[in-house]
Amino acid sequence: MQYDVVIGLEIHVALLTDSKFLCSCSTAFGAPPNTQCCPVCLGLPGALPVVNEKAVEYAVKAGLALNCQVHHFSRFDRKNYFYPDLPKAYQITQDTYPLCTNGCLEYYVDDQLQRTAITRLHLEEEAGKLIHSGSSIVDSEYSLVDYNRAGIPLIEIVTAPDITSPRQARLFLEQLRLVMRYIGVSDVKMEEGSLRCDANISLKPQGSPILGTKVEIKNLNSFRALERALEYEVSRQSMVLDRGGKIKQESRTWDERAGKTLPMRSKGDAPDYRYFPEPDLPPLLLDPLWVEQIRASLPELPLERLARLEREYGLSRYEATFLVNYPDFGELFLELAVPGGDNTAVINLLMGEYAGLAREHGHLEPRRIAELLRIVDEGLITHGQSKAVLEELFHSVLSPREIVRAKGWEVLRDEGQLRAAIRQVLADHPEILARYRAGEEKLWGFFMGQVMRAVEGKADPKLVNRLLTEELGSLI
């Protein structure tokens, strides 16, 4: 039986503010446990929250980048439940009147532009961190709590159940992550917990308008895990439905090692969070002018840049995608390239030899790269030599011209010297020469190789080509 897959995602993004959401403790990552806490984020009796303006700004920015309607009136609510990492035993969040609703994100899936609707985006606070004594929470005799992360500002983004495949879900999340990086509101690192994703998935008979039972998947710690877990669920749910069974509405956790989702142990009732308006915080009222200022401050977003790179710089989808996905490369390209011009050399360099080296050693200043491209274009060095010069640039402060001069790598143009080298090679390999003259024309490549070796690659291949042909021709 063929099934339609229906996926919705619930994403949490930690905002890159200096101080926490509701107090002024630092948000810096990696501090020793419980050294970034105060009465407010510890939930000490009598402490009160005060909202961080920048958190609101970043949340608005994210909402605008996701094409949401930003509400000038929104409100905070308490979500009440007990858990050791929740200092007040309630989380301050936005339930009834969220900051943003009705947005969308567009992204390419195999060259098809897809759009996923975003139902809502709201502000809430992060909980503390738990370290379990055992390998997982279920087999730990005790746990240790660190409240450094408690109170970090988060935005929760909920998509409509618009996504129709595990791969699409992954691509959506990757695009979302990219957008968040472009607008600078988060460093969205799943490994550090600044990007988290839970998924809801259900299957329905192909074409049926009736949605199936939704299963929630948690504990997805990477993009790969997201995709794999959803693929597993599609498979699992299909098998259940194929044999006429019913899908149980439940939360399942992804077990990376086993490669499967497992039911989470739950006891009885669905949680009752007893939401009610947060009395310690007045409603959030935004100045429409401020919102417009934030909108005006949005940088070029990934999809816009993609289109511009293709249109104005003559790049292919593949090339443009690379530059968009790696914005540091994108910025570099934009500095080096010419709109409307031929940017083949630039893109080939950046995506080719340069990429690996830059990842290892960090980026070069644009003007040094520009000079490298220029001297190849001028013919000072051959294209083949440019790799050596490039590598040298990462280890030296010299300019490309200075490096070429210092290493003596200028291209050999003296025809006399080249002819001498060619004649030497031919003289050194009489048997092969004889075979060539007998008709084995592909041995021409051998001579070419030998000549280039003899001149240590410092000759223009085209010139060598011509001279070798002439020399061989003159022997006949």
| Minimum distance from residue 190 beta carbon to another protein (Å) | 22
Contact 357, 391 (CB under 8 A): yes
| Minimum distance from residue 249 beta carbon to another protein (Å) | 14
DSSP string for residues in 210-260: S----EEEEEE-SHHHHHHHHHHHHHHHHHHHHTT--PPP-EEEEETTTTE
Selected binder of another protein within 45, 288, 362, 445 (CB under 8 A): 45
| Minimum distance from residue 76 beta carbon to another protein (Å) | 10
Find all residues with CB under 8 Å of 439, minimum gap 6, and list them. none
Structure tokens that stand for 233 in this block: 């669920």
Contacts (CB under 8 A) with another protein, residues 386-445: none
Dihedral sign for Cα atoms in the order 192, 214, 85, 157: positive
Residue the block writes with tokens 């060619």: 422
Selected binder of another protein within 25, 155, 350, 358 (CB under 8 A): 25
Contact 372, 346 (CB under 8 A): no
Per DSSP, what are the bridge partners of residue 7?
163, 201
Contacts (CB under 8 A) with another protein, residues 142-181: 142-147
Contacts (CB under 8 A) with another protein, residues 243-262: 251
Selected binder of another protein within 72, 73, 115, 137 (CB under 8 A): 137
Residue count of the chain: 476
* Residue 187, SS3 per DSSP: coil
| Minimum distance from residue 267 beta carbon to another protein (Å) | 5
Which is nearer to another protein, 124 or 227 (by Cβ)? 124
| Minimum distance from residue 288 beta carbon to another protein (Å) | 14
- Work out whether 56 is an interface residue with another protein (CB under 8 A): yes
- Work out whether 80 is an interface residue with another protein (CB under 8 A): yes
Which is nearer to another protein, 54 or 407 (by Cβ)? 54
Selected binder of another protein within 3, 4, 43, 204 (CB under 8 A): 43
Question: Residue 248 CB: number of other CB atoms within 10 A?
Answer: 10
- Work out whether 348 is an interface residue with another protein (CB under 8 A): no
Selected binder of another protein within 81, 297, 383, 420 (CB under 8 A): 81
Angstrom CA distances, 287 to 20, 98, 184, 292, 435, stand at: 22, 16, 22, 9, 85
- Work out whether 95 is an interface residue with another protein (CB under 8 A): no
Q: Which stretch binds another protein (CB under 8 A): 5-13, 20-28, 103-111, 352-360?
A: 20-28
| Minimum distance from residue 46 beta carbon to another protein (Å) | 4
Contacts (CB under 8 A) with another protein, residues 261-290: 264-285
Q: Which stretch binds another protein (CB under 8 A): 23-31, 104-112, 209-217, 368-376?
A: 23-31
| Minimum distance from residue 34 beta carbon to another protein (Å) | 5
Over the window 195 to 234, marking each residue x when it contacts another protein by CB under 8 A and - when it does not, the resulting string is ----------------------------------------
Structure tokens that stand for 370 in this block: 């520009």
- Work out whether 88 is an interface residue with another protein (CB under 8 A): yes
Cα 263 from Cα 420, distance rounded (Å): 78
One-letter-per-residue 3-state SS of 421-449: HHHHHHHHCHHHHHHHHCCCCCHHHHHHH
For residue 55, give the amino acid letter: A
For residue 279, give the amino acid letter: P
Q: Which stretch binds another protein (CB under 8 A): 48-56, 373-381, 407-415, 436-444?
A: 48-56
